[in-house]
C-alpha cells in the first residue's frame, strides 16, 4: 500500500469513527423500533408486513406510491384515506380501495409524517426471522440484528483507526530510514493532517487518553439508548371510538370485570365485544359530551343497530347485519416470548388492577401507566395492598422486582386454599421451609417466581 493511501484511509477512518460516535448510530434503529411499535398498535390488526391480510402488505407500499408519482400522498392516505379518495387526486387510493372491495381503512389523524415514515421504514426493512422457531411471528422483526451489525461496524472502525495510527507511525520511521539512506534532509511536514498525525505520534499517550474518553462517552450514550428501547410507559394509543373509562368505570362505577370479563379466568383480561356495550347503548344514544352521539353512532354502526328503528338491522333470513367490528388498538403489549397470566395475578395473587394499570377510573382511553404514578397511589389506597416499585412497567425488571417484594400469605389458615396446599407441600421440604421461617417472609420468588421458564416460553 502506498503511503499516501494509508493517509487517506486514516482520514476516512478518523472521520467515520468520529461521525459514528457523535451522529447517534442508533437513530435508524430507533426509527424501526418506533415504527414497529406504531405498527403493532395501529396497523397489525389489518395489515401484515409481507402478506396480504385485511389490507395489502405494507412492505413495498411506499415504493408503489412513489412509482405512481404519489409518494407524498401516502401520508394523507394513512391520516384520512376517505378524504384523499373523495378529493380524487390520487389514482392509487382509488385503485387499492377497489382492489380490497371498498373496505374502508381506519383514519389516523394523529400520525405525523415521521410516524408514518417510521412504520413504512419498519415494514420495508423487516426481514422474516431465519431460525426455525415454533412461535416466530411477523411482528417480531430483526431490528436487534441491525443494532448488532452497527455495533460491529463501529468496533471495526475503531480497530481500523488504531491500525492506521500504527501505520502512520511506521510510515514515518520508514520515511526517515529511506531519507537517511539517500542522505537527504527530511522536509517539514506541511498538511494539517500530517501535522495532526505527527502530533498524535509524539503525544500518543495523550491522544490515546482523548480517544478512550470519547469512546467511553459514546458507549455510555449507547447504553442509555439501549436501556430505553422497549420501554413504553405512559403510552395511550388512539382509538376509533372515543370511549371513556372515567365516565363508565369512574362516574358510573361499572366494575372492570363487567367489560374485561376474562381477567379472573384466563391469561388475558380481554376487551369487551360490541354486545357488552350494546347492553346499555341500545337505549343510550347520546351523552352530556357534545361528541357523544357521534361516537355512540359508530358503536351502533358496528353492532348493526338502527337507533331510529330501535332494533338491529336484519336480513331476509332474520340474521343481524353487523357492520365492521370495532378494532381496539393495544396499549399493553408484552413480547411473544413472555408468558403472563391475569388469572394468576388477579385471582390467585389477589393483586388489584391499580398496582399494574394505575388509576384507570381517571383515564379516558386505556393507557400504560408509569411507575411514578402508581407509587403515588400507594399511600391513599392502603386497603388495596399496593407496594412501591422502581422499575418501568412491562419490563422484565418490573416483574422480577415485584416477585421479590410482594409478600404472600402462606399458611394453614391462608384465605386462599391454593396457599394452604403450598404450605402443606413446603412443610415436607424442611430445607426450604427453614429458610422461609428464618426471615419470616414468603414472596413470589420463594415460590419459583424467579425461574426463567415460569415467564418464558
Ligand atoms: C381496519 C383495518 C385497517 C387498519 C387498522 C389499517 N389499515 Fe391500511 N388498509 C386497510 C385496507 C382494507 C386497505 C386497502 C384499501 C381500502 O380498501 O381502503 C389499506 C391500505 C393501506 C395502504 C395502501 C397500500 C397500497 O398498496 O397502496 C397503506 C399504505 C396503509 N393501508 C397503511 C396503513 C398504516 C400505516 C396503518 C397503521 C397506522 C394502517 N394502514 C391501518 C385496512 C386497514
Ligand atoms: C401484576 C400486574 C397486573 C395486574 C394486577 C393486572 N394486569 Fe392487566 N395487564 C398486565 C400486563 C403485564 C398486561 C399485558 C399483557 C400482554 O401484553 O400479554 C396487561 C394487559 C391488560 C389488558 C389488555 C388486554 C389483555 O388481556 O392483554 C387489559 C384490558 C387489562 N390488562 C385489564 C386488567 C384489569 C381489569 C385488571 C384487574 C382486574 C388487571 N388488568 C390486573 C398486568 C396486570
Ligand atoms: C352500564 C351501561 C353502559 C355500558 C355497558 C356502556 N356504556 Fe357507554 N355510556 C353509558 C351512558 C349512560 C353514557 C352517557 C353518559 C352521559 O350522560 O354523559 C355513555 C356514553 C358513552 C359514550 C359517549 C362519550 C362520552 O364520554 O360521553 C361513548 C363513546 C360510549 N359510552 C362508549 C361505550 C363503549 C365503547 C362501551 C362498551 C365497551 C360502552 N360505552 C358501554 C352507559 C354504558
Ligand atoms: C364499559 C366497559 C369497560 C369498563 C367498565 C372498563 N373498561 Fe377498560 N377498556 C374498555 C375498552 C372498550 C377498552 C379498549 C379501548 C381503550 O383502550 O380504551 C379498554 C381498555 C383498557 C385497558 C388497556 C388495554 C390495552 O389495550 O392494553 C386497561 C388496562 C383497562 N381497560 C383497564 C380497566 C380497569 C382497571 C377497569 C376498572 C377500573 C376498566 N378497564 C373498566 C372497556 C371497559
Ligand atoms: C405487583 C406485583 C407483581 C408484578 C408486577 C408481576 N407479578 Fe407475577 N406474580 C405476582 C404474585 C403475587 C404472584 C402469585 C404467586 C403465586 O403464584 O402464588 C405472581 C405469579 C406469577 C407467575 C406464576 C409463578 C408460579 O410460581 O407459578 C408468573 C409466571 C408470573 N407471575 C409472571 C409475571 C410476569 C411475566 C410479570 C411481568 C410482566 C409479572 N409476573 C409481574 C406478583 C407480580
Ligand atoms: C417474572 C417474569 C420473568 C422471569 C422470572 C424472567 N423473565 Fe426474562 N423477561 C420477562 C419480561 C416481561 C421480558 C420482556 C421485557 C421487555 O419487553 O422489555 C423479558 C425479557 C427477557 C429477555 C429479552 C431481553 C429483554 O430485556 O427484552 C431475555 C433474554 C430474558 N428475558 C431472559 C431471562 C432469563 C435468562 C431468565 C432467568 C434467569 C428470565 N428472563 C426470567 C420476564 C421474566
Distance of CA 316 to the CA centre of its chain: 46
Q: Please name the residue whose Cα sits nearest to atom 40 of ligand 6.
A: 452
Mean pLDDT across 138-148: 42
**Closest C-alpha to ligand 4, atom 21:** 366
Measured CA angle at 396 (ends 393, 400), to 5 deg: 95
For 321, list phi and psi in degrees, rounded to 5.
Answer: -90, 95
Residue 190 is predicted with a pLDDT of 63
Distances (CA, A) of 69 to 62, 73, 79, 281, 433: 11, 9, 19, 46, 72
pLDDT-based confidence at 256, cuts 50/70/90?
A: very high
CA-closest candidate to residue 118, choices 150, 91, 141: 141
Q: Give 244's pLDDT tier (boundaries 50, 70, 90).
A: very high
Query: Cell 411482528 appears where?
Result: 139
Distance 260 CA to ligand 4 centre (A): 7
Which pLDDT tens digit goes with each residue over 380-436? 888 888 999 999 999 999 999 999 999 887 777 777 888 888 888 878 877 777 767
- The stretch 335-361 carries a mean pLDDT of 94
Residue identified by cell 411477523 is 138
Grid coordinates belonging to 241: 371510538
Nearest-5° Cα angle at 375, 331 to 414? 95
The CA 350 to ligand 5 mean position distance, Å, reads: 11
Residues 156-184 have pLDDT tens digits of 888 888 877 777 777 777 777 787 787 77
pLDDT of amino acid 194: 83
Cβ atoms < 10 Å from Cβ of 429: 11
Ligand sitting nearest the alpha carbon of 239? 4
Sign of the Cα pseudo-torsion (92, 93, 96, 99, in order): negative
As given in the structure block, the three cell numbers for residue 24 are: 447517534
User: Which grid cell sits at 154?
Assistant: 463501529
Instruction: Give CA–CA dist 147/26, Å, rounded.
Output: 7
Q: For residue 138, what pLDDT is reported?
A: 32
C-alpha cell belonging to residue 448: 419459583
- pLDDT at 1 (0 to 100): 46
User: What span, in angstroms and rounded, lies between the C-alpha atoms of 443 and 408?
Assistant: 5
pLDDT of residue 181: 80
Nearest ligand to the C-alpha atom of residue 278: 3
pLDDT at 149: 61
Kindly state the average pLDDT of the residues 310-318. 86
Neighbouring residues of 30: CB distance < 8 A, sequence distance ≥ 6: 225, 229
Atom 39 in ligand 6: residue holding the nearest Cα = 452
CA–CA separation, 357 vs 354, rounded Å?
5
Distance CA 89, CA 340 (A): 48
Long-range contacts of 428-432 (CB under 8 A, 24+ apart): none
Number of Cβ within a 10 Å radius of residue 268: 13
CB 349 within 8 A of CB 221: no
Q: What pLDDT, in 10s, does the model give residues 40-59?
A: 888 887 788 888 877 899 99
pLDDT averaged over every residue in the chain: 82
The rounded distance, in Å, linking the Cα atoms of 47 and 116 is 14
- From ligand 4's centre to the CA of 391, what distance in Å? 23
- Of 341, 371, 331, 338, nearest to 354 by C-alpha is 371
Cβ count within 10 A of residue 335: 11
Cα of 312 from ligand 5 centre, angstroms: 43
Mutate to test the pocket of ligand 5, among 444, 450, 457 (most ligand atoms within 8 A of CB): 444
Going by pLDDT thresholds of 50, 70 and 90, the confidence category of residue 375 is very high
Nearest CA to ligand 3 atom 12: 284
pLDDT at residue 170 in the model: 75
Q: Tell me which residue has its CA closest to atom 7 in ligand 5.
A: 399
Q: Which residue has the higher pLDDT, 132 or 37?
A: 37
Residue 17, pLDDT above cutoff 70: no
The candidate with the shortest Cα–Cα distance to 168, out of 210, 202, 206, is 202
Per-residue pLDDT band at 224 (split at 50, 70, 90): confident
- Return the pLDDT at 10: 52
What was the pLDDT predicted at 431? Answer: 76
User: Candidates 449, 452, 454, 457: which one to mutate for ligand 5, based on the most atoms within 8 Å of Cβ?
Assistant: 449
End-to-end CA distance of the chain: 53
C-alpha 49/C-alpha 126 separation (Å) is: 8
CA 212/CA 275 separation, integer angstroms: 63
Q: Ligand 3: which residue has its CA nearest to atom 20?
A: 287
Ligand 6 binding pocket mutation candidate from 223, 226, 235, 396 (most atoms within 8 A of CB): 396
- The Å distance, Cα 300 to ligand 3 centre, comes to 12
Ligand nearest to the CA of 259: 4
Name the band, by pLDDT with cuts 50, 70 and 90, for residue 376: very high
Bigger pLDDT: 135 vs 146: 146
Indicate the pLDDT class of residue 77, thresholds 50, 70 and 90: very high
Amino acid at each position: 500500500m502506498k503511503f499516501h493511501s494509508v493517509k487517506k484511509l486514516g482520514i476516512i477512518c478518523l472521520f467515520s469513527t468520529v461521525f459514528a460516535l457523535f451522529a447517534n448510530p442508533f437513530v435508524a434503529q430507533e426509527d424501526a423500533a418506533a415504527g414497529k411499535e406504531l405498527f403493532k398498535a395501529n396497523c397489525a390488526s389489518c395489515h401484515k408486513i409481507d402478506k396480504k391480510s385485511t389490507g395489502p402488505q405494507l412492505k413495498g407500499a411506499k415504493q408503489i406510491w412513489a412509482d405512481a408519482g404519489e409518494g407524498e400522498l401516502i401520508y394523507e392516505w394513512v391520516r384520512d384515506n376517505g378524504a384523499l379518495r373523495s378529493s380524487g387526486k390520487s389514482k392509487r387510493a382509488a385503485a387499492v380501495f377497489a382492489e380490497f372491495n371498498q373496505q374502508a381503512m381506519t383514519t389516523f389523524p394523529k400520525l405525523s409524517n415521521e410516524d408514518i415514515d417510521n412504520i413504512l421504514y419498519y415494514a420495508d426493512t423487516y426481514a422474516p426471522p431465519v431460525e426455525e422457531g415454533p412461535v416466530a411471528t411477523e411482528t417480531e422483526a430483526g431490528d436487534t440484528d441491525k443494532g448488532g451489525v452497527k455495533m460491529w461496524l463501529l468496533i471495526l472502525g475503531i480497530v481500523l483507526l488504531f491500525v492506521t495510527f500504527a501505520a502512520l507511525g511506521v510510515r514515518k520511521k520508514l520515511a526517515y530510514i529511506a531519507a537517511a539512506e539517500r542522505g537527504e534532509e527530511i522536509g517539514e511536514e506541511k498538511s494539517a493532517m500530517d501535522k495532526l498525525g505527527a502530533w498524535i505520534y509524539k503525544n500518543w499517550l495523550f491522544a490515546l487518553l482523548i480517544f478512550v474518553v470519547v469512546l467511553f462517552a459514546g458507549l455510555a450514550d449507547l447504553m442509555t439508548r439501549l436501556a430505553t428501547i422497549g420501554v413504553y410507559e405512559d403510552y395511550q394509543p388512539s382509538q376509533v371510538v372515543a370511549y371513556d373509562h372515567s365516565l363508565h368505570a369512574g362516574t358510573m362505577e361499572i366494575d372492570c370485570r363487567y367489560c374485561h370479563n376474562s381477567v379472573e379466568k384466563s391469561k388475558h383480561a380481554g376487551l369487551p365485544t360490541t354486545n357488552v356495550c350494546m347492553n346499555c347503548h341500545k337505549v343510550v344514544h347520546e351523552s352530556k359530551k357534545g361528541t357523544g352521539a357521534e361516537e355512540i353512532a359508530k358503536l351502533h354502526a358496528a353492532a348493526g343497530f338502527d337507533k331510529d328503528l330501535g332494533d338491529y338491522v336484519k336480513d331476509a333470513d332474520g340474521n343481524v347485519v353487523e357492520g365492521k367490528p370495532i378494532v381496539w388498538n393495544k396499549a399493553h403489549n408484552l413480547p411473544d416470548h413472555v408468558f403472563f397470566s391475569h388469572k394468576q395475578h388477579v385471582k390467585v395473587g389477589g393483586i388489584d388492577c391499580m398496582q399494574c394499570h394505575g388509576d384507570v377510573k381517571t383515564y379516558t382511553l386505556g393507557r400504560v401507566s408509569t411507575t411514578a404514578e402508581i407509587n403515588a397511589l400507594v399511600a391513599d389506597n392502603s386497603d388495596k395492598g399496593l407496594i412501591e416499585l422502581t422499575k418501568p412497567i412491562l419490563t422484565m425488571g418490573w416483574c422480577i422486582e415485584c416477585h421479590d417484594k410482594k409478600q404472600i400469605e402462606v399458611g394453614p389458615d391462608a384465605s386462599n386454599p391454593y396457599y394452604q396446599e403450598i404450605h402443606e407441600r413446603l412443610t415436607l421440604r424442611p430445607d426450604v421451609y427453614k429458610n422461609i421461617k428464618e426471615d419470616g417472609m414468603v414472596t413470589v420468588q420463594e415460590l419459583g417466581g424467579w425461574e426463567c421458564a415460569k415467564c418464558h416460553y
